[in-house]
Structure 1
């Protein structure tokens, strides 16, 4: 029994046999594989881009792009706890169980209806995962440069704040030493805050590198 979407980015396959392994992978609950489903792990102020590999009622395993912070570096009130944020906006508290290079396993801390999670991932429109930035940047517009703060970033866009008045559909280049320069266009504005859409979509791995660089800029025990 399982779910598959032919030719799509989502595939869900129930594993009939569980190989002997450690932690989550040796549990009795049926596991389902979600293909190419990005998610966000939040731990304190730190955020990590990941890709879901498989999920069961008890836990989940993910592909990592960078190591998670060691438990001894976490604040005492966190104690290896993370929040898994899905592209549907659903959030699930989880606890780190195991980690090895490039992957990790987590235990759900609250009951999870796996089939409902799968249905929501399939039927609900995906929202772009946004990562906090608070990064000073420069906007290059028609030969002039203006100061701005990039508040968050996703694969396809960002939200900035600037005292300069920008027009809807105005194009610009965002320049920073922390991330590659990228061309963007104004999609919406609210006061001094503007939503931008990028001319080029970041690949998942490239976005993970940017997020990791942003983490290193911010001091604090919750960051690697």
Structure 2
């Protein structure tokens, strides 16, 4: 994923997050292709941060973003910011911050933990198919590159298998690590960010994929 680039703040520019306000004094920064996720009671959904200022943030989803809150914006460091919806247009949505934020810290993605690939906490029952049989397992979280699962069957390190579910395309994977009933899988063929976003929405809130603007975006 290409890291976001930051433009020079534009004093007095109208915010992308609050079109209802004609006057704007907070500097606006532009972030290009900075992946994050919106967390709501309905689940976790991938988005891209486009614009951010002291008062709010503009996001673009790979599908319509959920309207019902509360909402949090979670960065790849695990840092969370409470946000409140202001406007939405197709795949774009603007939010105000529920409390004051340090914009420089948000842009730098500084936090208690190192930056890592987005992981979605999604509960999903699957089958693991391998030479000699098929067993049940539960997905705990999922990323573009792999998954964390729970399984009662003993699996060997580096064991090849297939992850099967009616909601998830069949994925070839290998066991990377294990700890009691938990296993880490690495996929042979990784998901694109848009594929992962579509899968997550389909599992958690299928109605978000029904809007006309979503189909074209997910084909990219």
Common fold: TM-score over 0.5: yes
**Pairing 1:190–2:179 present:** yes
Match of 1:131, SS state, is: coil
Between 1:9-18 and 1:57-66, the stretch displaced more is 9-18
Aligned to 1:14: 8
Aligned to 2:212: none
Give the C-alpha shift of residue 197 in structure 1: 1.4
Q: Is the 8 A contact 1:81 1:96 kept in 2?
A: no
Identify if the C-alpha distance between structure 1 residues 148 and 20 changes in structure 2 by more than 3 Å, giving closer, same or farther. Answer: closer
**Pairing 1:141–2:130 present:** yes
Using the size of structure 2 for normalisation, the TM-score is: 0.82
Identify if the C-alpha distance between structure 1 residues 27 and 163 changes in structure 2 by more than 3 Å, giving closer, same or farther. Answer: same
Between 1:61-70 and 1:146-155, the stretch displaced more is 61-70
Give the C-alpha shift of residue 187 in structure 1: 1.6
Q: Work out which of the residue numbers 64, 67, 75 in structure 2 matches 1:67.
A: 64
Using the size of structure 1 for normalisation, the TM-score is: 0.81
Structure 2: where are the runs of 5+ without partners? 207-220
Per-residue Cα deviation, 1:115-143 (whole angstroms, up to 9, x for no partner): 12222369x84312222222111111125
Q: Number of residue pairs matched?
A: 201
Q: Which whole-Å CA distance do the structure 1 matches of 2:104 and 2:138 have between them?
A: 40
**Pairing 1:92–2:81 present:** yes
Q: Is the 8 A contact 2:65 2:91 kept in 1?
A: no
CA root-mean-square deviation: 2.3
Match of 2:122, SS state, is: strand
Q: Is the 8 A contact 1:61 1:104 kept in 2?
A: yes
Per-residue Cα deviation, 1:26-65 (whole angstroms, up to 9, x for no partner): 6321111222211111111422110110111111001012
Aligned to 1:130: 119
Match of 2:121, SS state, is: strand
**Pairing 1:150–2:144 present:** no
Q: Where does 1:27-66 land on structure 2 (aligned, <5 Å)?
A: 27-66=24-63
Q: Which whole-Å CA distance do the structure 2 matches of 1:130 and 1:155 have between them?
A: 8
Give the C-alpha shift of residue 114 in structure 1: 0.9
Q: Work out which of the residue numbers 177, 200, 213 in structure 1 matches 2:166.
A: 177
Identify if the C-alpha distance between structure 1 residues 43 and 180 changes in structure 2 by more than 3 Å, giving closer, same or farther. Answer: same
Q: Which whole-Å CA distance do the structure 1 matches of 2:147 and 2:21 have between them?
A: 36
Q: Which whole-Å CA distance do the structure 2 matches of 1:148 and 1:60 have between them?
A: 38
Q: Is the 8 A contact 1:43 1:81 kept in 2?
A: yes
